Amino acid sequence: MRTFEEDVAIAEKYHGHLCSGQCIGVKMARLGMRELDIDIQNDPKSIMVYVECDRCPADAIGAVCGCKVGKRTYKFHDFGKVAASFINLRTGKAVRIWRKKRMHPAEGEDMISFYKNLPDEEMFQVQQVEIDLKPWDMPGPPLEVVNCSRCGEDVTDGRHVMVEEQPVCKACLGQRYYKVVADGKP
């Protein structure tokens, strides 16, 4: 297993700078993998992570666990919480870890040493959880592709809704994050 310092360096490189959020995310990722008996260096395809915030710890967790959106092993739910669920894809066992106490080093104190030496139980709560993974949530190629009956765009892996026996994407049902202002040609 890599050292805490090695994992912080991986997270810092990915994130672009060192901050307390990186150290917190590294600590969470390492705890999650320990709880699930995952050796990411020898079995990098054994883990899936759900993160609950779009802050610095999320980058560190993904970098240390080797999880990626494009590999379907990194899922994001914007709950605004410093929390993440870790799943051992080999055993199905899962834990959710959340920060129960905001703790930061004192002025002038070494940040990496502070977080490395902080006991996990002081900072985090670990919960045994169940996550109902569907076949289309798993890594690998799409299991299903349909065309939205309204906009014509492809929708993969059950992310559509059937309306009057026709597949409709969530964007066409009003769940889009964008507003089309002009529709150009390719």
The 10s digit of each residue's pLDDT in 11-54 is: 999 999 999 999 999 999 999 999 999 999 999 899 999 999 99
The amino acid sitting at 37 is D
Structure tokens belonging to residue 108: 């002038």
Give me the domains of the chain, ranges plus CATH numbers. 4-135 (3.30.1330.130), 141-186 (no CATH)
Please say whether the beta carbons of 94 and 125 come within 8 A. Answer: no
Residue spans of the chain under pLDDT 70? 186
* Residue 92 backbone zone (phi > 0: left; psi -120 to 50: alpha; other: beta): left
Query: Can you give the pLDDT at residue 186?
Result: 67
Q: CA–CA separation, 49 vs 25, rounded Å?
A: 12
Helix axis angle for 20-35 and 56-65, nearest 10°, is 40
Q: CA–CA separation, 46 vs 143, rounded Å?
A: 20
Query: Can you give the pLDDT at residue 24?
Result: 97
Query: Can you give the pLDDT at residue 19?
Result: 94
Q: CA–CA separation, 37 vs 32, rounded Å?
A: 9
| Cα-to-chain-centroid distance, residue 7 | 16
Query: Can you give the pLDDT at residue 181?
Result: 86
Please say whether the beta carbons of 27 and 115 come within 8 A. Answer: yes
